[in-house]
Amino acid sequence: AQSVTQPDIHITVSEGASLELRCNYSYGATPYLFWYVQSPGQGLQLLLKYFSGDTLVQGIKGFEAEFKRSQSSFNLRKPSVHWSDAAEYFCAVLYILRTGTYKYIFGTGTRLKVLA
């Protein structure tokens, strides 16, 4: 069955440090991949998405993600974290089914805390 795993429930980094949030998925073909951010009391905001092409994707707020087919991973990175990046981050995977419909699965989220 299709699944999405975000192995880190909580991550704490110091402001200015680099960040990498992990996301692994299970599927035979290349799915559509997304990263979202959710600030407290807010809805989700799309950071970036990958469908095909260049495996390094640039997003908003200085985030990037790299698709690695061999590792079934789509990790999110930021070279220098700002205090305002403290939020919860969700990886999502969309699978197009043979019926033409799709299955849209979210990871359990990683809560990021930023130390001043």
Q: In whole angstroms, give the CA distance from residue 96 to residue 103.
A: 7
Enter the tokens of residue 6.
């975000």
Residue 38: left (phi > 0), alpha (psi -120 to 50), or beta? beta
For tokens 């707020």, the residue is 61
**Cβ distance to another protein smaller for residue 87 or 92:** 92
Phi first, then psi, for residue 88 (nearest 5°) are -110, 140
In whole angstroms, how close is the CB of 29 to another protein at the nearest point? 15
Residues at the site binding another protein, with contacts judged by CB under 8 A? 32, 41-46, 51, 90, 92, 94, 101-109
SS3 37: strand
- Residue 3 vs 80, nearer CB to another protein: 3
Report the alpha-carbon distance of residue 91 to residue 75 in Å, rounded: 9
Q: Tell me the closest approach of the beta carbon of residue 4 to another protein, in angstroms.
A: 10
What's the min distance (Å) between Cβ of 1 and another protein? 11
CB of 44 to another protein, least distance (A): 5
Nearer to another protein, 15 or 30 (CB): 30
Nearer to another protein, 17 or 46 (CB): 46
